[in-house]
Amino acid sequence: MKGLVCLSLAAALLCLFSGCDKGESDIQGQIQTPEKGSLRIVSLAPSITEILFQLDLGGSIVGVTTNCDYPEQARLITKIGSLHPDIETLVRLKPTHIFAIESMLNESLKQRLEALELKCTVVKINTIEQITDSMVTIAAACGIAEKGVKLAAELESEIDRYKSASKSLMPKKTLVIVQPRPIVAVGENTFISELVRYAGGSITGVGGLGKYPQLNSESLLAIEPEVIIITDNPYTTEQKEEILEVITRWESIPAVKSGDIYFLNSDIISRPGPRSAKAVALLARAIHPEFNWDNLE
């Protein structure tokens, strides 16, 4: 991944020094250098909001979605809606930069932004590599490319520590439940499955069932997970007890026998962004509690 960050920096700097001087970025994501101190940023996704704050750009954010709740300061910023932003509010904010995730920017919204000549940088954020690319792209669009590269390198370095350590461990079959009733689990080739792999786990037994399959009793028993992770939304103590009561009925499941069932913060585990290294750390400690994760090189 380190080579990828270097390539991202090269691409960003190439754009910055090749005549991109209008202070904005277009709907296809071409990077242009903003005038210093002129930033008025709108974020259309929680992941992007977290990246912006990590880049120390929180003070330049004028609008976020209703789902942007971290860090705490994000809750105080003007809300523009969720998947369908209120265009009138967005226009009133007079943004110089709008950042969006490709999978969340529908064609209708894209066309409306173009018609209003509101410039938008679109990024992908489905993998760790795409997260680090996005950090560099967003930072470069805001005139702080080197800071983006530094942030991306720090994230990669922290995750690499866990990846390296987990290579010496036998991968444990891990079931990540994102919805308990009915049970919906994480499948293969997903962002969370990548994190689980880096943490010494293995999302197996759900191949061919989709990225987020709904599991019945038969399929759950067939998977035989050694560890069960439940993303915490958060649930109350009573709700957790009810969920555990349902899951522990399947007494033959290895994770139930060993008691390796854990509730982990949903936002940290499920939201791609600067906290993804923390997500790997939480998963690693749940999947391999016997390993000393505190003394990683």
Whichever domain contains 276, its CATH number is 3.40.50.1980
Distance CA 280, CA 276 (A): 6
Q: What is the structure's pLDDT at 207? A: 64
Of 161, 177, 202, which one is at a domain's C-terminal end?
Answer: 161
**Same domain, residue pair 199 and 74:** no
**Same domain, residue pair 127 and 218:** no
- pLDDT exceeds cutoff 70 at 231: yes
Residue scoring higher pLDDT (116 or 34): 116
**Same domain, residue pair 246 and 127:** no
Mean of the pLDDT values across residues 132-161? 98
Of 161, 178, 213, which one is at a domain's C-terminal end?
Answer: 161
- Nearest to residue 265, comparing CAs of 166, 134, 176, 132? 176
pLDDT category, 29, cuts 50, 70, 90?
very low
**Same domain, residue pair 142 and 175:** no
Give how many domains the chain has, as a whole number.
2
pTM: 0.86
Grouping H, G, I as helix, E, B as strand and the rest as coil, residue 227 is strand
**Same domain, residue pair 60 and 108:** yes
**Same domain, residue pair 199 and 268:** yes
- Domain that includes residue 194, residue range: 169-295
Burial class for 5, CB neighbours closer than 10 Å (0-12, 13-18, 19+) = buried
- Nearest to residue 203, comparing CAs of 76, 92, 213? 213
**Same domain, residue pair 197 and 217:** yes
Of 135, 161, 187, which one is at a domain's C-terminal end?
Answer: 161
CA distances in angstroms from 104 to 84, 115, 118, 123, 177, listed in the order given:
9, 19, 17, 10, 23
